[in-house]
Amino acid sequence: MDAIADLVLPILPRLRRYAAAVTGSSRGGDRYLELCLETLIAEPERLDRDRDVTVQLFMLLHDAIDACGLDDEARPVEPEFDSGLHRAVLDLPSADRRLLLLTLLEDFSPGQAAAMLNAPKPQAERRLAAMCATLRDICVARILVIENKKRLVADLANLINQSGHTLVGVASDTRSAAALAQRRHPDLVVADLHRGMGGIGPVRALLEGNGLPVVFIGGRPAALRQRDGAPVFVIDDLRDTRRVEDTINRALFSRVAGNEAVRRTAGG
C-alpha cells in the first residue's frame, strides 16, 4: 500500500483541482476524490504500474463521480465558482465539461482526453474546437503586464489584443504593478521573470491573497510550478502565437477550479 501511496500522492493536487472544477464544488469534489481513493485502497489491482498512472487515476475519479450519479444531482455553484465562465463550463454536458477541463485545465492532449473519455479522437477534437469557440467571448481577460522592455511590451500588447483579451496596464516593476492591480483589477498577470522583478518572490507577494493566475515569460516551468499560491504557467517562446493564446486561456481556466480550492490544493 505504501508503494501505491508513493504513486498517488504527487498527483493528488491535480485530481483535487479537477474534481472541484468538474463538480462545481470544492466540498463535492473532495467527496468524489475520497470515494476514488477508497476504491483504490479496496481494489489496488485497478492501478497498473506499467501504464500511465496519472491517466488511470483520472479515469478512476470519473468512475467515482459516475457511480454517485453526478449528472442526476443539482449542482449548486459555490461563491468561489460564481462567475460567467464557471457557470458556462458547469452548464456543459458532463462529457464535454470533462473534455474541456482535461485539456485546458489539466493540459492533457486531445488524444489523451479522448482516450480517457472513451471517445474517438477526431470527434473529441471537433467538440473541443466548438466549445472553445462558444466560450471565447466569455473567456475575456483583463491582463496586467510586468515588463520594462518597450519592444517586448509592444509584442505582448499585440498578442493580447489578437487573443481577444484586454491589456489594462503595464508596470516596469512589482511595486508599480501592485498599485495598478489595486486600481485596474486584472484577471491575469503576465510577467517577465528576468526583467524588472527581482525574481519570483516579489510576484508571489503581489498575488498574495488575490489568487491571480500568473503567466511567466521564460524560466523553468517545473521549478515555477512547485510553489504555493496561485497556479503558474510559462511561455517559452513569444513567436508561437497559438501557444501564447493557449497558455493564457489555460491560466484563465485554472480559475474554474476556484481560487480558494487551488490555494488549499497547492498547500497541501
- Residue 107 sits in the same domain as residue 171: no
With cell 516596469, the residue in question is 172
Q: How far apart are alpha carbons 249 and 242 in whole angstroms?
A: 11
Strand order in the sheet with 166-171: 166-171, 142-146, 188-192, 214-217, 232-235
The confidence band for 264, taking pLDDT boundaries of 50, 70 and 90, is very low
Q: Is the pLDDT at 116 greater than 80, yes or no? A: yes
pLDDT of residue 266: 36
Examine the domain organization and report whether 151 and 257 are in the same domain. yes
Kindly report, residue by residue over 136-180, the tens digit of the pLDDT. 767 778 899 988 888 888 888 888 888 788 999 998 887 888 888
Return the pLDDT at 203. Answer: 66
Cα distances from 1 to residues 41, 53, 70, 98, 109, in angstroms, run 8, 15, 29, 29, 30
pLDDT in tens, 20-34: 888 888 888 899 999
Q: Name the amino acid, one letter, at 71.
A: D
Q: Are residues 247 and 155 in the same domain?
A: yes
Q: Give the CATH number for residue 67.
A: 1.10.1740.10
Asked if 107 contacts 54 with a C-beta cutoff of 8 angstroms, the reply is: no
Claim to verify: residue 67 and residue 160 sit in the same structural domain: no
8 A C-beta contact, residue 41 and residue 1:
yes
Q: Report the CATH number at residue 125.
A: 1.10.10
Alpha helix locations (H) across 136-220? 150-162, 174-184, 200-207
What is the per-residue pLDDT across 220-246, written as a single tens digit (0 to 9) for each? 554 455 444 445 678 877 777 777 777
Length of the chain: 268
- What percentage of the chain carries pLDDT values higher than 90? 25
The answer on pLDDT for 54 being more than 60 is yes
**Statement to judge: residues 180 and 228 lie in one domain:** yes
CB count within 10 Å of CB 16 equals 23
The parent domain of residue 242 ranges over 142-267
Number of domains in the chain: 3
